[in-house]
Chain A
Amino acid sequence: MSNGQKTSYGQALRDGFAYVLRKYPKVFTIGQGLWSPWYVGNSMTDLDKEFGKERVIDTPVAELACTGVAVGAAISGKRPVIVHPRVDFALLAVDQIVNQAAKWCHMLGGQVSVPVTIRAIINRGGEQGAQHSQSLHSWFAHIPGLRVVMPATVRDARDLLIASVLCDDPVMFIDDRWLYEQEEILPSPREILLDREGPEIRKTGKDITLVSCSYPLRQCIEAAKVLEGRGIDAEVIDLRILNPLRRTPILKSIKKTGRLLAVDGDWATCGMAAEILASAMEGVEPRVWKSKPARITLPDAPAPTSKPLEKAYYFQVEDIVKRAVEIVGSKIKR
């Protein structure tokens, strides 16, 4: 793996699965389509052939029961990964995710560990429409007890997946199909502790802080390159773990740049970008701000199907550049 060859994000996910399946007999994966490659891209290809159909289980069309089965196995000593090929489908399992997995430890007095990973895939674009495109990470990040992980880099795809599976708490692991073609040269897998991880600075800068996660983080990195050509030095922060959220690195960056643009692939109202802005307003003194903070999100509408509407719906790198330029160019009147 560290032989100088590039690994794709999709392959890195598969490497993560293979790593935990190989090393930990307690790990198994379960979900719709696990024996049918087109559902999950290349991220789980042939795992059933490598590790057996007893540990890579394709299931009946029953999201709620299958997630409950994973929760039940998790409290019985296993480390299951329940896979939902669309985030939208995972909504059928919300009782098990929110009422059960996220609550058992607390409501049973801290005595129960629920080491289940709920992997859900964002599969937007391609005219898939309102029920095949949702992200909803803000929704899940709202739930105490449910860790929410969104890897933006190839290395995180693999290493945060491993960390999620090895974590003693339920983890909502959300990956975006639009990231699958990203490539990196990876070192060997490493086991990291999820509760020690938090936001990371992907590019340092002094003029404006861009905060994002998952696919939009890649857009922010692209935007930062364009901004550099226009004399704006942007700092880019990758949230990585949305809940519980470590705010300190974000606040520290804003205290340095005095400017904030939160970029999120979810809706605006009560969304992750709103949480970043609220945390920044609470945590950064007014005198520090050089201009009003802002956010870029999806419009508050369900995802459309028709191509021109899709184009209007999903923000582009240029939108981030434009907004950042506006922020840097504006001043707060005091």
Chain B
Amino acid sequence: MSIKKINAHCLGDLARADKYQSPLAPGRSIRNQSIKWLKSLLLIRAAEEKIGDEFGKDVIQCPCHLAIGQEATAVGLADHIRKGDRVFGAHRSHAHYLALGGDLHQLMAEVLGKETGCSRGMGGSMHLYQPQVGFHGSVPIVGSTIPIAVGAALSIQMDGTQNVAVSFLGDGATEEGVFHESLNFAANFRLPVIFIVENNLFSSHLHIDLRQPYNSTCRFAEANGIPWQRLDGNDVVAVSRACLTATRQVRAGKGPQFIEMVTYRWRGHVGHREDLDVGVKRKDDLILWKKRDPITRLVKGMKNKKWLKPGDLQKWTAEAEVAVQKAWDLASHDPYPKPEALLGRVYFQAENR
């Protein structure tokens, strides 16, 4: 792969806030696909802004890690997910869930701890589950879902289907030992799994330059003989293209794939604020990264192609906001789990499913 000529250790310009701000180039992709991406990005953005607002008002109390600004990674993957594929997230997974088609009302109900939530109100923001759309779970112990995704891939391999497993992880998770164990395992058994590192340069408050000797995590794929791609994670066109390549390879039985998507979260590690208030030094970068916005750049690209009619964007934005408000209102009036749920769900009972 020619891409291997790029140094697997360094992100180069991809890490720069002042680069990659030009309109996207949807290329040969059809107009309808771009509209689908845009609507999905708008819905996720609206949903997370709502969650952020309600978190700020203390209406939501469970820890919410917002992916505002880095929605394109999930949206670009979702195109290529088929029935029977198994996607796993981590602590920042609202976007993964929604991009795959997870139910909006059930997400709102879950962050409110309601019985109607996607995890029946037992998990909250950090424990999302919607197997019917291929989202098989997210948990906040950093790195924990990586081997679980590899196990799902082992199961797929045993069944002999052409499905894939996907592990979404952050740059922080690449510092966990289990990440390295999992890459070695997946490569050794040539398992159908795609590791997607959303490298947003931060783990909690700490920049990757203070945590790792190099800022690109592709070096770990290289070390394990796993083919890797690296790209601007705020470019949904590039994300989708990379995911197409990766899923094709994996479905063809060629073993694991690794994609590093460089992105940036606008909000702080947890909650609605930007972490500027607590002294994280990223003010100048944040201003520039907001210009690297996956939505604005897609909109500009679509305008260049004359794929947007006047008023389309406003209309779709309003539609997303209405859908979010409607889901929120519904969830707000939903019941909490009954006290019996406390002990009744410790062990699996088929009738509870």
Show the binding face of A for B, using Cβ within 8 Å. Answer: 28, 54, 59-60, 62, 64-78, 80, 95-96, 99-100, 104-114, 144-145, 147, 168-169, 195, 244
Within the complex, which residue of A64, A77, A95 is in contact with B155, where a contact is CB–CB below 8 Å? A77
B172, CB-defined interface residue at 8 Å:
no
Q: Which residue of A lies closest to B136 (CB)?
A: A75
CB distance from A67 to the nearest CB of B (A): 7
| CB-based contact A68/B144 at 8 Å | yes
Show the binding face of B for A, using Cβ within 8 Å. Answer: 86, 117-123, 127, 129, 131, 136-137, 139, 141, 144, 146-156, 158, 165, 177-178, 181-182, 184-185, 188, 341, 344-350, 352-353
| CB-based contact B158/A78 at 8 Å | yes
A68-B144, A110-B345 known; A54-B158 Cβ under 8 A: yes
Contacts of B155 in A (CB 8 A): 72-73, 76-78
Please measure, in the bound complex, the distance between the C-alpha atom of A104 and the C-alpha atom of B345, giving whole angstroms: 10
| CB-based contact A62/B150 at 8 Å | no
Contacts of B86 in A (CB 8 A): 76
Contacts of A95 in B (CB 8 A): 141, 144, 178
Please measure, in the bound complex, the distance between the C-alpha atom of A28 and the C-alpha atom of B189, giving whole angstroms: 15
| CB-based contact B148/A68 at 8 Å | yes
CB distance from A145 to the nearest CB of B (A): 5
CB distance from B149 to the nearest CB of A (A): 6
Please measure, in the bound complex, the distance between the C-alpha atom of A96 and the C-alpha atom of B148, giving whole angstroms: 9
| CB-based contact B136/A169 at 8 Å | no
21 contacts between A and B (CB under 8 A): A65-B150, A66-B147, A67-B147, A68-B148, A68-B151, A72-B150, A72-B155, A76-B136, A76-B155, A99-B141, A100-B141, A105-B346, A108-B122, A108-B129, A110-B120, A110-B122, A111-B352, A112-B137, A112-B348, A168-B348, A168-B350
| CB-based contact A110/B151 at 8 Å | no
Inter-chain contact total with CB atoms closer than 8 Å: 150
| CB-based contact A72/B148 at 8 Å | yes
Q: 8 tightest CB-CB pairs across the interface, nearest first?
A: A72-B151, A68-B147, A109-B120, A65-B181, A62-B181, A72-B148, A110-B352, A76-B155
Contacts of B344 in A (CB 8 A): 110
| CB-based contact A111/B353 at 8 Å | yes
Q: Which residue of A lies closest to B345 (CB)?
A: A110
Contacts of B123 in A (CB 8 A): 107-109
Q: Which residue of B lies closest to A101 (CB)?
A: B148
Q: Which residue of A lies closest to B110 (CB)?
A: A109
| CB-based contact A169/B152 at 8 Å | no
Q: Which residue of A lies closest to B149 (CB)?
A: A72
CB distance from B224 to the nearest CB of A (A): 11
CB distance from A210 to the nearest CB of B (A): 29
A62-B181, A75-B136 known; A96-B122 Cβ under 8 A: no
A77-B155, A78-B158 known; A64-B147 Cβ under 8 A: yes
CB distance from B307 to the nearest CB of A (A): 39
A100-B139, A100-B144 known; A169-B120 Cβ under 8 A: no
| CB-based contact A145/B346 at 8 Å | yes
CB distance from B119 to the nearest CB of A (A): 4
| CB-based contact A60/B152 at 8 Å | no
| CB-based contact A113/B348 at 8 Å | yes
Please measure, in the bound complex, the distance between the C-alpha atom of A80 and the C-alpha atom of B158, giving whole angstroms: 12
Q: Which residue of B lies closest to A70 (CB)?
A: B151
| CB-based contact B348/A73 at 8 Å | no
Apart from A108-B119, A109-B129: 5 A-B pairs, beta carbons within 8 A: A66-B147, A68-B144, A69-B151, A75-B136, A111-B129
Contacts of B346 in A (CB 8 A): 105-106, 144-145
| CB-based contact B144/A76 at 8 Å | no
| CB-based contact A71/B148 at 8 Å | yes
Please measure, in the bound complex, the distance between the C-alpha atom of A54 and the C-alpha atom of B190, giving whole angstroms: 13
CB distance from B232 to the nearest CB of A (A): 30
| CB-based contact A99/B348 at 8 Å | no
A111-B353, A168-B348 known; A68-B120 Cβ under 8 A: no
| CB-based contact A104/B137 at 8 Å | yes
Please measure, in the bound complex, the distance between the C-alpha atom of A95 and the C-alpha atom of B144, giving whole angstroms: 8
| CB-based contact B347/A108 at 8 Å | no
Contacts of A244 in B (CB 8 A): 347
A64-B177, A71-B151, A145-B346 known; A96-B144 Cβ under 8 A: yes
CB distance from A265 to the nearest CB of B (A): 26
| CB-based contact B185/A62 at 8 Å | yes
| CB-based contact B129/A75 at 8 Å | no
| CB-based contact B185/A66 at 8 Å | yes
Contacts of B153 in A (CB 8 A): 72
Please measure, in the bound complex, the distance between the C-alpha atom of A77 and the C-alpha atom of B156, giving whole angstroms: 10
Contacts of A106 in B (CB 8 A): 122, 345-346
| CB-based contact B181/A76 at 8 Å | no
CB distance from A81 to the nearest CB of B (A): 13
CB distance from B126 to the nearest CB of A (A): 9
Q: Which residue of B lies closest to A75 (CB)?
A: B136
Q: Which residue of B lies closest to A72 (CB)?
A: B151
Please measure, in the bound complex, the distance between the C-alpha atom of A72 and the C-alpha atom of B149, giving whole angstroms: 6
| CB-based contact B148/A100 at 8 Å | yes
Please measure, in the bound complex, the distance between the C-alpha atom of A106 and the C-alpha atom of B121, giving whole angstroms: 10
Contacts of B350 in A (CB 8 A): 168
Contacts of B127 in A (CB 8 A): 107-108
